[in-house]
Amino acid sequence: MQDLGILLEGRNLERLLYGLWVTLRISFASIAASIICGIIFGVIMTLRNRVLQAVCRIYLELVRVLPQLVLLFLAYFGLTRAFNINLSGETSAVLVFVVWGTAEMGDLVRSALISIPRHQYDSGYALGLSKADVYMSIILPQTVRRLIPLAINLATRMIKTTSLVVLIGVVEMLKVGQQIIEANRYTAPRAALWIYGAIFALYFLACFPMSLIAGRLERRWT
Amino acid sequence: MKLCKIAQVAMALILSLVLFPGCNQGAGASGAGSSNAQSSTSARSLDEIKSSGKVIIGVFSDKAPFGYVDSNGQYQGYDVYFGDRIGKDLGVAVEYVSVEPANRVEFLETGKVDIILANFTVTAERAEKVDFALPYMKVALGVVSPDSALVASVDDLKGKKLIVAKGTTAETFFEANYPDVELVKFDQYTETFSALLDGRGDAFSTDNTEVLAWALQNPGFTVGIESLGSLDTIAPAVQKGNAELLDWINNEIKSLASEQFFHEDYKATLASVYGDAINIDSLVVEGGVIE
């Protein structure tokens, strides 16, 4: 139990919380941009244009096939090698997560859109509503409701995947934790359990409110 | 269906376009460092470092006691102690970047750091991609055993069981050079130390830095053989072809020998872990000279 004291030693807790801040600012910037780009991408994918569909398909499959780690290396080291573009570690991370998030989110939006039965559109038109009205009042509310659980799932996945950014030199929460554990490796070998416990709690605190909000939104809209 | 095929071909094309420049540049960098000397991916010259007011050094941030971050968020350790001195003698501030074993070469090749000081073991394969300066540390194998039946030389191992972790240099070394020593192998590194404590073997061999640190924490056990096998050296590395900075570091290491700088470094950073009992010269290299 006295190993828990490691957490309060010096500026350790402050460092861990700063690590959480790095994790969250990368995640939230990426999630926000992914949702906006993803909705646009998803709508484009439902358009009946074969060329557009092929392009979207290629983009989606390409991003899905490549592991995020490869994408991070391509953005951080690859862009510098090939085009002399020097992005900072955090910028590269956000870029990669937006590219990935847009593809995943777009596919979720597409599936939510096509899951709305045809008769919902037809009933709207039969009532004399304009196309815009049908979308705004009938289709979109239903789409968003179906989308929320999936989007939250994606968002929490993105938060957790940010632990990879350490490989392009960005020190986030998990890395700070490992630094604390290793700095005390000889004096407190059992501190690892407590530090990982603290990290677990912080990840939970970051992800759980999103689930709560999502649950509330779903209930309100039903 | 036809569309599907077109999409597949296009995807293959895009993939090769995205990945090819990376591969190509990688090969170019190992072949001839001058090929990309004009681009900004090339390393900074000594003058550029000095006029920018800071040198960027890649170090480990979680490998105590060589490179780690203390509870106040400051970089510390044997490598960092040297990094601080490099900054002081260059007359610039030092910016440390946290690197991982897997990306040290990449950081140098893309010029994102000026120097790597991350416990970088010199190997022929790595020397094709980066330029190593003179060594400042050396590692070899060590053998730890209980005081009651101390193994002080390889001859003492005859008829005894030696614990090793699979995939380590210790395993390959003993298999190749001492096939008559009976090896007890474990998959996980953490199992090996407990196996020695339980008496499942008579001695345990791995990197000498590891066994020395462990023996200090475990009374009743002593490192009978401190240095065995092929000696690996640890050296600073710079981008391939950055001769100016390489020469500067080499001269720095040579001139630091007069003040026994790395002995001081050892006392400041490693002594608390490895103790004063061990022979400092079995780890530390002064002036880049290996006896």
Q: Which residue has the tokens 């991370």?
A: A93
From the list A50, A169, A180, which residue is nearest B97 (CB)?
A169
Q: Which amino acid is present at B100?
A: E
DSSP string, B49-95: HHHHTEEEEEE-SEETTTEEE-TTS-EESHHHHHHHHHHHHHTSEEE
Report which DSSP code applies to B281. G
Residue B87 is encoded by which pair of tokens? 């900054």
Question: Residue B284 and residue B153: Cα distance in Å, rounded?
Answer: 22
Contact between A74 and B22 using a beta-carbon 8 Å cutoff: yes
Pairing of strands B161-165, B182-186: parallel
Residues 152-171 of A with CB under 8 A from B: 166-169, 171
**Secondary structure class of A190 (helix, strand, coil):** coil
Q: Please give, rounded to a whole number of angstroms, the shortest distance from the CA of B275 to a CA of chain A.
A: 12
From the list B10, B22, B76, which residue is nearest A78 (CB)?
B22
Report which DSSP code applies to A162. G
Helix H or strand E segment including B143: strand B137-146
Question: Residue A27 and residue A164: Cα distance in Å, rounded?
Answer: 12
For the stretch B150-184, pLDDT in tens is: 888 888 888 889 998 887 778 888 988 888 889 99
What is the C-alpha end-to-end distance of chain B, expressed in Å? 70
Contact between A54 and B41 using a beta-carbon 8 Å cutoff: no
Question: Residue A51 and residue A217: Cα distance in Å, rounded?
Answer: 37
**Boundaries of every domain in chain A:** 2-221
Q: Please give, rounded to a whole number of angstroms, the shortest distance from the CA of B123 to a CA of chain A.
A: 22
Measured at the CA of A88, the angle between CA A83 and CA A93, to 5 degrees, comes to 95
Q: Does A73 touch chain B (CB under 8 A)?
A: yes
- Cβ contacts of A185 on chain B, cutoff 8 Å: 64
For the stretch B19-62, pLDDT in tens is: 444 443 333 333 333 333 334 577 888 999 999 999 999 999 98
- Write down the H helix ranges in B91-151: 104-109, 124-127
By the 8 A CB rule, do B131 and B248 touch?
no
For the stretch A131-178, pLDDT in tens is: 889 988 888 888 888 888 888 889 988 998 998 999 998 999 999 998
What topology does CATH give the domain B40-136+235-282? D-Maltodextrin-Binding Protein; domain 2 (3.40.190)
For the stretch B84-128, pLDDT in tens is: 999 999 999 999 999 988 889 999 999 999 999 998 888 888 899
Question: Residue B265 and residue A50: Cα distance in Å, rounded?
Answer: 66
Q: Which residue of A has its CA nearest to B13?
A: A58
Q: Does A185 touch chain B (CB under 8 A)?
A: yes
By the 8 A CB rule, do B201 and B182 touch?
no
Rg of chain A (C-alpha set) = 22
Question: Residue B237 and residue B59: Cα distance in Å, rounded?
Answer: 11
Residue A182, CB half-sphere, CA atoms under 13 Å: how many? Answer: 19
B26 or A119, higher pLDDT: A119
Q: Please give, rounded to a whole number of angstroms, the shortest distance from the CA of B6 to a CA of chain A.
A: 8
What topology does CATH give the domain B139-231? D-Maltodextrin-Binding Protein; domain 2 (3.40.190)
**Secondary structure class of B201 (helix, strand, coil):** coil
What topology does CATH give the domain A2-221? MetI-like fold (1.10.3720)
Question: Residue B121 and residue B21: Cα distance in Å, rounded?
Answer: 28
Q: Which residues make beta-bridge pairs with B63?
A: B67
Q: Say how far residue A144 (Cα) sits from the centre of its chain.
A: 17
In sequence order, which residues have a C-beta less than 8 Å from that of residue B247 and are 6 or more positions away? none
For the stretch B212-248, pLDDT in tens is: 888 887 888 888 888 888 788 999 999 999 999 999 9
Q: Please give, rounded to a whole number of angstroms, the shortest distance from the CA of A196 to a CA of chain B.
A: 15
From the list A57, A83, A179, which residue is nearest B62 (CB)?
A179
For the stretch A38-67, pLDDT in tens is: 999 998 998 888 999 999 999 999 998 999
Its ipTM equals 0.80
From the list B40, B99, B106, which residue is nearest A86 (CB)?
B40
Q: Which residue of A has its CA nearest to B16?
A: A62
Q: Say how far residue B83 (Cα) sits from the centre of its chain.
A: 15
Q: Which residue of B has its CA nearest to A78?
A: B22
Q: Which of B38, B62, B70 to mutate to test the interface with A (most CBs of A within 10 A)?
A: B62
Q: Please give, rounded to a whole number of angstroms, the shortest distance from the CA of A183 to a CA of chain B.
A: 5
Residue A15 is encoded by which pair of tokens? 């460092």
- Cβ contacts of B65 on chain A, cutoff 8 Å: 186
Question: Residue A138 and residue A146: Cα distance in Å, rounded?
Answer: 13
From the list B63, B97, B273, which residue is nearest A182 (CB)?
B63
- Cβ contacts of B217 on chain A, cutoff 8 Å: 186
pLDDT at residue number B191? 80
Q: Which residue has the tokens 């179906």?
A: A146
Start-end of CATH 3.40.190.10 domains in chain B = 40-136+235-282, 139-231
For the stretch B53-89, pLDDT in tens is: 999 999 999 887 889 998 888 999 999 999 999 999 9
From the list B98, B103, B106, which residue is nearest A171 (CB)?
B98
Of B290, B188, B182, B241, which is closest to residue B43 (Cα–Cα)?
A: B241
